[in-house]
Amino acid sequence: MRQLILDTETTGLNAKTGDRLLEIGCVELVNRRLTGNNLHFYINPERDSDPGALAVHGLTTEFLSDKPKFAEIAEELREYCRDAEIIIHNAAFDLGFLDMEFGRLGWPPFMQHCSSLIDTLMRAREMFPGRRNSLDALCERLGVNNAHRTLHGALLDAELLADVYLAMTRGQESLVMDTNDGDDGEASAHREKISLRQFDLPVIAAATEEIALHDDVLNGIDKSMKGMCVWRKEPAPPEGDAPSAA
């Protein structure tokens, strides 16, 4: 299955009042594997960015002045995305701008050229009710390193979202030890439990040399405490499993 993680940057928040796309980034997954066949455009939006948007993406009018206009990259974008499943975080925002740009060219809405849509923001709200579900919050929760994200960028954010999506959909949230992310009470009590039985988890035995080194450490602890350390004690059998008296 071919999936494309897509993100955009824009001159402002409202496509209906004249804001335009100025950057598009797409990351390709085939059968849940990153292929490296990504797509990235800077676009001349033919207008200035709002100050708030400029503070987010840092792409100045001067930098974008010699970049292609949307009409010049539209066909390549459409063919790249054709028949793929599209994955977007807060899809309504990005699709609003893409549909506006496609409409300027007399084309049908963007998703009519693709097979289906996954909105990771909607998925995250279902998985983590009552919690923050921004891209940064999901990176922190799922162990995706976003330390290099100082400004928003369409390709960088698409790459981060690809890692987030894979983590969200392989059922590994139950392996995260620290679940204290500001949620408590009813939201925490109703968190979905994910069974690990569906995964083929490998069992890796310690090598002989590693066992010997481990025993040396335990011997040293035994000697220092003049007794048997806790790591040598067998765990108590589960209740009901104790051997019956003869």
Q: Check whether 7 is labelled as a binding-site residue.
A: yes
Cα separation, 158 vs 170, in Å, equals 18
Cα separation, 151 vs 157, in Å, equals 10
Q: Check whether 214 is labelled as a binding-site residue.
A: no
Q: Check whether 40 is labelled as a binding-site residue.
A: no
Helix axes 70-81, 91-104, angle to 10 degrees: 120
Q: Which helix (H) or strand (E) holds 117?
A: strand 116-119
Please pick, among 40, 113, 152, 190, the residue that the annotation labels catalytic. 152
Residue type, 74: A
Please provide residue 179's backbone torsions phi and psi, each rounded to the nearest 5 degrees.
-105, 10
3-state helix, strand, coil in the chain (%, to 5): 45, 15, 45
148 has catalytic annotation:
no
Residue where the block lists tokens 């007794």:
227
Please say whether the dihedral angle defined by the alpha carbons of residues 118, 122, 127 and 132, taken in this order, is positive or negative.
positive
Three-state secondary-structure class, residue 238: coil
Q: Check whether 57 is labelled as a binding-site residue.
A: yes
Per the annotation, binding residues for substrate are: 7, 9, 57, 157
Per the annotation, binding residues are: 7, 9, 57, 157
Residues identified as active-site: 152
Per the annotation, binding residues for a divalent metal cation are: 7, 9, 157
